[in-house]
Amino acid sequence: MVQNETESAELARLRREQAKTRHDEVFGGLTREERSAYDIKRDRICELERRLPKPGSQQGNIRFLS
């Protein structure tokens, strides 16, 4: 995580990095170190997706019944 980066910004950055890595993999393969870094980022993305509310979800919104 970059200092002072929100979780949603981190998620967006990691997704961009993963897309670049997948592109690189198609055109040249990955070293063991690159694959390991990819897997660590994948795990972090999954963690952030579980923690952050889904777009359009009602999570966090308080609704009152009348």
Question: Domain for residue 65, yes or no?
Answer: no
Please, are residues 45 and 21 in contact by the beta-carbon 8 Å criterion? no
Question: Domain for residue 24, yes or no?
Answer: yes
Give me the number of domains the chain comprises. Answer: 1
- The SS3 call for residue 1 is coil
Q: Which of 34, 11, 50, 15 is nearest to 26 (CA)?
A: 34
Domain of residue 45, residue span:
8-51
Quote the pLDDT of residue 53. 84
Three-point CA angle 50, 55, 56, nearest 5°: 125
Question: Domain for residue 61, yes or no?
Answer: no
Quote the pLDDT of residue 64. 47
Global confidence as pTM: 0.74
Per-residue pLDDT of the chain (66 residues; tens, 9 = 90+): 678 899 999 999 999 999 999 999 998 999 999 999 999 999 999 999 999 987 776 655 555 454
